[in-house]
Amino acid sequence: YEVKVSRSDFHADVNKGKYRAYFEDCSQFFFAVPSGLIGLHEVPEGTGL
């Protein structure tokens, strides 16, 4: 999982595709964020919240 505490940090990593580097080492990937920080529609395909 990747912990994000701000919308800008989340979107910066998603836009760069940084989270994809973890796919080789894990079978599932989740973003851990404070409740209400992002919407489910913002979570990239193949990841969870």
pTM for this structure? 0.84
pLDDT given at position 46: 92
H-run or E-run covering 10: helix 7-16
In this prediction, residue 10 carries a pLDDT of 96
Distance CA 1, CA 37 (A): 16
Taking residues 8-13, report their average pLDDT.
96
Give how far Cα 14 sits from Cα of 1, 26, 43, Å.
Answer: 13, 18, 8
Q: How many domains does the chain have?
A: 1
Note the pLDDT tens digit of each residue in 11-45. Answer: 999 999 989 998 889 999 999 999 999 999 999 99
- Residue 47 counted as domain residue: no
Residue 6: inside a domain:
yes
Residue 49: inside a domain: no
Specify if 8 maps to a domain. Answer: yes
pLDDT of residue 16: 95
- The domain of 28 spans 2-42
